Each structure stands twice: as structure tokens, then as C-alpha cells.
Structure 1
Amino acid sequence: MYGKLAQWDDTIVALATPPGVGAIGVIRVSGPEAYPIMDALFPSKRLADQASHTAHVGVLKDGPVALDEVVLTLFKGPRSYTGEDVIEISAHGSPYVQQRIIQAIVNRGARIAKPGEFTQRAFLKGKLDLAQAEAVADLIAANSEASQKAALHTIRGGFSAELRQLRNQLLSFSALIELELDFSQEDVEFADRSQLYTLLREADGITKQLLDSFSLGNVIRNGVSVAIVGKPNAGKSTLLNALLNDERAIVSDIAGTTRDTIEEVLNIEGVLFRLIDTAGIREHTADVIESIGVERSMEKIERADVVVVLFDAVNETPASLQQDWAFLEEKKSKVLWVGNKIDAGELQQLQEKWRPLSQALLISAKTKNQIDLLKKRLVDLVISGAVNTEGTIVTNARHYQALQKVAQSIHDILSGLDRGLPGDLIALDIRRCLHFLGDITGEITNEDQLDYIFSKFCIGK
């Protein structure tokens, strides 16, 4: 099914922890020769005779030369991550020592693993399906609680279980419909069309829910780009510092102090926001460097997921503000209007002044007044409520594209049933739907696709 990938019968080795100096480094060995190779390097005892899932302390030796005192953890296939014989070597964290150990293992017949090859073998051995394997990479790259929970849910099989149940039910109907083709002369129906119709309606709902979750999944996986824009001296850098609770950006009363964009990351309620403090935007400036900064600010606005328009609530007016930023209405759907410097005026008068711009939030970046409310507004704007990662959230663009094709196939089957199409055409649409479902979990795949997916993993995983 997987071409030459299914013939893998060699032994691989790689450093499983990040390269560099540390207290401990873990080297992973997997394959049929894992135990013979390590027995040759570990004279303390015969590892092949030891029980699986046990740890052993001793000295690794390359002939007469001692390499390191290590702890070996044994996992015998199929009760291992890859489904093969696996040995993990916990060595001291010297890159030189680790390289000596890896080279000794290679000299005895192993080869250096390719990126993601351990997880790829786990997939080929049936330890993980493809969606779960991809979630391993997502978990390694998780940079927030939300992304961690979403990846763990998929690794534990939550996403795959939903797809597998749907696929099995469709397979059953497909088999019955295709059986009808063998008895076409008798004009019999083995598949209950009403049950199929009910199943497809349920499947359509499940698929839509998964597709709808991708917008949240994209936020969880990639974070949200937030451009803070406004006129010079509106307080953008002060706001960035207030949000970060750190003096990150230079603040002064001189307009145009920020000449280039400054980017920082902020975690709010499990969602990563990439905050971009842009140069103040004004129509005319003789300063060449400031002009370049303004151009870059406009580029950041184009690319940002959210734009925070910061204005001087004391000195600007609703009419001039909306005129200056009218172009945003066409470019961006997610805009937050934030009036700054309420500490410099009388709050009640400012609230009355900005009542026409009802969605505006009035704050003081200098005193951090209403900063927590601004953070809540940011979260609500991008996820429309609390992050709930207990259910399945689609974070993978490949899965999303496949689910779009699943949804279209379901609609084609329903349309065929409504029009009374013959069984052979219905069966064709069902097989197409099954193909796209199998593409997500790996029941349907090819060597090039697997190589591409696993090449994005780190070496040693």
C-alpha cells in the first residue's frame, strides 16, 4: 500500500533532544538491530534478555574506549512508540559525547534517521493514524495552552474517532449499494435509502462543525497578528508597553519617535497575539526614514488579522477619525477603535464626545486604565467566546481542505438521492467521499504525500 516505505527493515538513530549543551541528551535507536547494536556497546549485561519498559545504568564502550555512563530505557516491539524494538539512551548533554555515541551506533550498522522518521514508522506500523501523527508535530510546536489541548485531543484519537465512525458507516452502505449492482436484473434494494439519507444529514452537520472550527483552529495554531496603528504621538508605544507590562518600546512626547515596526508576542487566555507597534501614520512628512516607516506600517495593516486604531480621545474628533481611517472598512473586518489619554481629560465629557462611535473603547495606556478590558475585547473579537478545546478543533490546513471535499461529496450524494440516481452513480459518489475521509487519517495515501508530511518534523521524532 505504501510502496517501498512498507519495506523498511533497517535500524535508525538520532538525537531526540534539542542539540546543544545541557544536563542530559536523549538518543533514540529503533529497528530490528537495535538490541544487537547496543549489546555490542553495553558490556554490563545482555540487553536482549532484559524485560521491556525497564531502565539500566552502565557504561557505553566503543571497544576499549569508554564513551559515557548512561541510562538505557528499553522498549520491545510492538510495545513501543514506533512499534519496533526501541532503545533510548540518556547520556550527558555534551554535544561531543552525544556525537561519539551516535557515530559508534552508525559504525555498527544503523543509519541517521530522516526528519520525522520515528513517527513515520509509528504510522506505518499502525501505532498512529496520519491525523494523530501530524498532531505529534503540532504538540511539539505548541506555544499556548489552547494549542497544547487541541493537539493532545487529536493525538488521543478524538478527531480520528469521529471520522472513522462516519467512514465505517459509509463503507457499509457502499457495500450494500454495490451488492445491488450484482442483482440489477432483480430490481432489489439492499441499502435502506432513508437510513442513508439520515446518516448523510448527520455527516453533513459534523463536517460543517469541523470546517467551522478551523477559524478558531487557525488562531490557536498560528496566533493572531495585531497591528496597532494611529497618528504620531497617539500613544501606540505606550499601549504596547502597557499590554506587555514591560518597557519594550521607546516612549517620548516627540511625534514620530517610532520609525519602524516593533513586534512582540502576548498570551491572552491561551491565545497568542503578535502585537505590532507601527510607525505613526500621517499624510505628509519630510523625514525620509519616517516615510519608510509609514510605508511599512501600511504593509503591516494589509497583513494583520486585527487592526487596533489608537486615537487621542482628547484632541481628535469622531468625524476626523472616521474620515482618516475610512479605507479600513474595505480592507479589514476586524477593527478595534481605542481612544487613549482619558487621564488627560474629564471622563464623562469624553464618553459623551465619543458616543457617536459606540464601539470605541476609552482607555489610558499611561495609567493602564481599561487595559484588561481591551485584552478581553481582543480575545472576543477573534474567537467569539471562550476557547473550548475539549471537542475537536481542526488546526491543520490539509485536513481542512480534505474536509471541504468531504462536504462537497456528501452534498453530491444527497443530491443524487433526491434526483433518484441509479445505485452505480450513488456508489461512485460514496467512494469519492470515502477517499477524502481516508486521506485525512491515512487509509488512503501515497509515498510522496507521506514524505512531504513527515519531512516537516524535527529529526529524532
Structure 2
Amino acid sequence: MLGKLAGWDDTIVALATPPGVGAIGVVRLSGNDAIHITNQLFPSKNLLDQPSHTLHVGLLKKDGIAIDQVVISLYKAPASYTGENVVEISSHGSPYVLEKIIQALTAGGARLAKAGEFTQRAFLNGKLDLTQAEAVADLISSNTEASRKHALQNIRGGFSSVLKQLRDQLLSFSALIELELDFSQEDVEFADRTQLYQLIETAGITTTQLLSSFALGNVIKNGVQVAIIGKPNAGKSTLLNTLLNENRAIVSEIAGTTRDTIEEILNIDGILFRLIDTAGIRQHTHDVIESIGVEKSLEKMKQADVVLYLFDVTEMTTAELLVLVNEMNQQQIKFILVGNKADKATDEELAEKYSEIPVLFISAANKRNIETLKQRLVDQVISENLQQENTIISNARHYEALRLVDQSLQEIKEGLDNGIPGDLVALDIRRCLHYLGEITGEITNEDQLDYIFSKFCIGK
């Protein structure tokens, strides 16, 4: 674990609750002098003599003038979030009062914290590894049940434990192989090459599974872009309104009513779907504004994770759909064919008309098969059960490092196959350990840490 970086022995302060008026607000301090600085403003009792993990009620005063009646929470090092002395001051939630408290604390010797500095100190003091620290930010920004569970599992060390087990095993073999180099004249082997080969095989499988989980992790973290595409008056806006259960888009019998893209968010089974209602696509239009909308529709279709192609079952022919399916497949677009206005024909007529193509038939106006459509959307982007406690990666930094780990494992395996000397095997293992260390933070630098923690909120 990294040692303390230069300039990290001072005491920091920040508002830990969201800005604005509220019932209470919390000001947090962390550092060696956190309790001492607070004690200067709290004449009710001597906080320096109080045990850790205790609450204290009294007036907070500056120059003998009361600022507010507060509750002070004490957490003494190392039994705190940051591993340092931590004080949390709960006051009334007036922005003016909170600002006065922070001003008094900075006048007493604290400095304003940078973004993510509390969690960064927790990392530097060994309370969290880097993956757990990043999961803190993910938990704060989580907005679905799936993203909350995923972030919480990583805070509890789900991802870290997988990496630690792999790293410990590789370290053990690396030490044995390097020990062999000290006895090279005796021509002995301390490291069982068969066991090492088995470890590399197992590690490769684990790494591949983690890399494969990134697509799902990205869905959990960032949601899914869904473009609703189709000809004018196919019912795209009606479908959007039905999915959202509100009148968000203007619905009209006049073709080309939707001139611009409309984006809304729908939560289905803990996954955020970013629905994009686009202008109807038709080959020729003399309306300049409508033609711009059509161009935007085509652009959104190419950017989308999934395309809902909506068509009117009373107008679209099988031949037209076959051409469309072929084009979508050629462009490797994930799509769902949705036949709208299915209430205007019988199930038998529809099945016979579109027998060559898998189509989901709905009636957006009558809400027919809408729940089936929602489930089909989930099935398109999720290949595994979110309720399972599988380790999933959603961080692009982790993905890139794991890709290098996987590459290093392949090089170790090839080296063993080719019978390369132990010193070269040890070099390959050390490279693999380096990439694993970059993920968890055993190997990092100050610039990298500043970038990672700059994305946190100030009070965390």
C-alpha cells in the first residue's frame, strides 16, 4: 500500500451533506488535529478526553459568540473511515450556519477538502483498496437497485477478493521461481511447473469471465440507449407515452409530427433504458425541418445499444421487413421488430403474414403486450441473472488493466509451453502482478490518484 503523499498530514474540512436548506447539515473533519480544532469551538466539555465513537451535544462558539447548537460525533484513529481522527458536526441545515461553522474551523487550522479527499485518505491509510474506493463513488451515484447492489458488493470487497486470491498465488510462485535463481548451480526446481500451469489456466478463465462481464457492468452503471425507429405515423410517440405511462410526446395522425428526438429514462427490473423517440424515417420529404429530424434519427440508430423498429402491421410488407432485417444484420445492430396496431388484425392473420420473421406484435394505444416488450428489452441486454452475487466489472480502467493481465497470463502460458528459463518466467509473472496492482492500487502514482478522486463529490 502507498505511504502518505507529501502534504497529507494536515486536517481537512468539508460539508458532507448536499448544499441547500435542510433539517440538518453535517460538516466533516479528518486529520490529526480534527478533534483539537473542534474542541476550541466547543466549551461544553473537553473533547480530547472523550472516548471514540461517542456523541456530544452543546453550543459551538467562535470568540464567545454562539454559532449553533450541534451534535458532535467523534471517531478516533485508526477506527474511522479515513483511518485518521474524524469529527462530524451535525447542525441545523441553514446554508448560512453551515458556512459560519466551516469558516470557524478553517480559522482554527483546518483547510477545505478537495473532491474525494476523505476517501483518498482512507485508501492511503489502508482502509480501502482502490477498487473499493471507486465503488464508493459508484454507490453515491447509483440510481437503480442493480447499480446499488453492484457498488455495495465491490465496497465489501467482492472484486478485490477475486484479485487478491489471484495475486497471492502468483506471488507465491514468483517467490519460488526467483529462489531457484539463487540456486541455479544446483539445478533444482522449487516451483512445481504443473501447478503453475494449472494456476495460469484457472486465472485465465477468471480473467476472461471478468472481461466478459464488462458489457453487463456497463449496462448496470450507465444504462441502455434504445432508439425507437420506424416510418412516420407508425406509433413511435404513442409507444413512448405508453412505456412511460405519461403523455410525453405529441401524438397526431399527421405523418412527420415528431421533428426532433425526444429522450426519456425508463427503469425496467433495475436497469435504466434511455428511450429515444425519433422522427419518422422516410426516403423523400420536402420539409427541411423534418429532413433534419430524419438525419438525427439515423444518427441515433447507429449510436443506440438496441433499436426498436416499430412498424404498422396494416402497411408494412414481409418483403420490406426482410430487406430491413438484412441491413440491420449487416451493420451488426441489435434490434427488436415490433409490429404495432396489432388490434386491427387477428393473431392468425398476423402469424401468416409475417411467418418468415420473428416479430413482437403490440398495440401501443391499447397497451397490448407492453410488458412483454419490456421483458424483451431486458433479455436483449442481459445474459445473466442480476440477482446472483457474481463479480461484475463496470469500470473502464479496470477493464483495460484486466486486458493486460489476460495478455500477460497468455505470455506466461506460452513461456511454460516453450520451456523458457525461470528468470524469464519470473519476469512475465512480475509484469502480470504489476497490472493487477494497478487495479487495486498497490501500484499507482499521485497523478492517477488525483484523477480518480477528482470525480468524487467534495464531502466524500
Please classify the TM superposition score into its range, dividing by the shorter chain length.
Answer: over 0.9
Query: Matches of 1:453 and 1:411 in 2, distance apart?
Result: 29
1:17 offset after TM fit, Å? 1.2
Q: Which residue of 1 aligns with 2:193?
A: 193
For residues 263-313 of structure 1, the C-alpha deviation after alignment (integer angstroms, 9 at most, x for no partner) is: 111111111100000011111111111111111111111111100000001
Query: Matches of 1:4 and 1:56 in 2, distance apart?
Result: 31
3-state secondary structure, aligned to 2:213: helix
3-state secondary structure, aligned to 1:147: helix
Query: Matches of 1:338 and 1:12 in 2, distance apart?
Result: 56
Task: Tell me, yes or no, if the aligned pair for 1:153 and 1:391 is still in contact at 8 Å.
Answer: no
What does residue range 45-444 of structure 1 map to in structure 2 within 5 Å? 45-323=45-323, 326-357=326-357, 359-444=358-443
Task: Tell me, yes or no, if the aligned pair for 2:11 and 2:34 is still in contact at 8 Å.
Answer: yes
3-state secondary structure, aligned to 1:44: coil
Query: Matches of 1:76 and 1:372 in 2, distance apart?
Result: 53
Task: Tell me, yes or no, if the aligned pair for 1:150 and 1:389 is still in contact at 8 Å.
Answer: no
Query: Matches of 1:430 and 1:268 in 2, distance apart?
Result: 43
For residues 311-365 of structure 1, the C-alpha deviation after alignment (integer angstroms, 9 at most, x for no partner) is: 00112112123335653323343100000001222332122111111x2100000
Give the number of aligned pairs.
460
Query: Matches of 2:313 and 2:72 in 1, distance apart?
Result: 65
Query: Matches of 2:384 and 2:392 in 1, distance apart?
Result: 15
Task: Tell me, yes or no, if the aligned pair for 2:2 and 2:442 is still in contact at 8 Å.
Answer: no
Q: Unaligned stretches of 5+ in structure 2? A: none
Structure 1 stretches of at least 4 aligned residues deviating more than 6 Å after TM superposition: none
Task: Tell me, yes or no, if the aligned pair for 1:232 and 1:255 is still in contact at 8 Å.
Answer: yes
3-state secondary structure, aligned to 2:176: helix
Task: Tell me, yes or no, if the aligned pair for 2:57 and 2:70 is still in contact at 8 Å.
Answer: yes
1:198 offset after TM fit, Å? 1.1
Change (3 A) 1:288 1:326: farther
Query: Matches of 2:58 and 2:261 in 1, distance apart?
Result: 54
For residues 397-423 of structure 1, the C-alpha deviation after alignment (integer angstroms, 9 at most, x for no partner) is: 111111111111111111101100000
Task: Tell me, yes or no, if the aligned pair for 1:2 and 1:447 is still in contact at 8 Å.
Answer: no
For residues 87-135 of structure 1, the C-alpha deviation after alignment (integer angstroms, 9 at most, x for no partner) is: 1111111111111111110111110000000000000000000010000
Change (3 A) 1:321 1:365: same
For residues 140-171 of structure 1, the C-alpha deviation after alignment (integer angstroms, 9 at most, x for no partner) is: 11111111111111100111111111111111
Structure 2 counterpart of 1:334, one-letter code: K
Task: Tell me, yes or no, if the aligned pair for 1:314 and 1:350 is still in contact at 8 Å.
Answer: no
1:4 offset after TM fit, Å? 6.5
Query: Matches of 2:442 and 2:6 in 1, distance apart?
Result: 14
Task: Tell me, yes or no, if the aligned pair for 1:14 and 1:28 is still in contact at 8 Å.
Answer: yes
Task: Tell me, yes or no, if the aligned pair for 1:27 and 1:89 is still in contact at 8 Å.
Answer: yes
The 10-residue stretch of structure 1 (379-388 or 366-375) with the greater mean CA deviation from structure 2: 379-388
Query: Matches of 1:167 and 1:236 in 2, distance apart?
Result: 51
Query: Matches of 1:262 and 1:57 in 2, distance apart?
Result: 52
1:50 offset after TM fit, Å? 1.4
Query: Matches of 1:313 and 1:386 in 2, distance apart?
Result: 34
Change (3 A) 1:332 1:288: same
Change (3 A) 1:324 1:173: closer
Query: Matches of 1:175 and 1:7 in 2, distance apart?
Result: 35
Query: Matches of 1:203 and 1:4 in 2, distance apart?
Result: 32
Query: Matches of 1:184 and 1:7 in 2, distance apart?
Result: 46
Query: Matches of 1:40 and 1:330 in 2, distance apart?
Result: 71
Query: Matches of 2:305 and 2:206 in 1, distance apart?
Result: 27
3-state secondary structure, aligned to 1:301: helix
Query: Matches of 1:58 and 1:389 in 2, distance apart?
Result: 47
Task: Tell me, yes or no, if the aligned pair for 1:228 and 1:236 is still in contact at 8 Å.
Answer: yes
What does residue range 32-47 of structure 1 map to in structure 2 within 5 Å? 32-47=32-47
Query: Matches of 1:231 and 1:458 in 2, distance apart?
Result: 44
For residues 49-82 of structure 1, the C-alpha deviation after alignment (integer angstroms, 9 at most, x for no partner) is: 1121111121111112221111111111111000
Query: Matches of 1:332 and 1:388 in 2, distance apart?
Result: 29
Task: Tell me, yes or no, if the aligned pair for 1:226 and 1:307 is still in contact at 8 Å.
Answer: yes
Task: Tell me, yes or no, if the aligned pair for 1:91 and 1:98 is still in contact at 8 Å.
Answer: yes
Query: Matches of 1:324 and 1:420 in 2, distance apart?
Result: 54
3-state secondary structure, aligned to 1:438: helix
Task: Tell me, yes or no, if the aligned pair for 2:4 and 2:124 is still in contact at 8 Å.
Answer: no
* Aligned: 1:5 with 2:2: no
Query: Matches of 2:323 and 2:171 in 1, distance apart?
Result: 59
State the identity %: 68
Change (3 A) 1:23 1:331: farther
3-state secondary structure, aligned to 1:41: coil
1:385 offset after TM fit, Å? 4.1
Query: Matches of 1:322 and 1:341 in 2, distance apart?
Result: 20
Task: Tell me, yes or no, if the aligned pair for 2:37 and 2:109 is still in contact at 8 Å.
Answer: yes
Structure 2 counterpart of 1:418, one-letter code: D
Query: Matches of 2:341 and 2:47 in 1, distance apart?
Result: 70
Query: Matches of 1:272 and 1:333 in 2, distance apart?
Result: 20
For residues 354-394 of structure 1, the C-alpha deviation after alignment (integer angstroms, 9 at most, x for no partner) is: 1111x210000001100000001000000124324512101
Query: Matches of 1:385 and 1:310 in 2, distance apart?
Result: 27
What TM-score do you get using the length of structure 2 for normalisation? 0.98
1:43 offset after TM fit, Å? 1.1
Structure 1 counterpart of 2:125, one-letter code: K
Structure 2 counterpart of 1:373, one-letter code: T
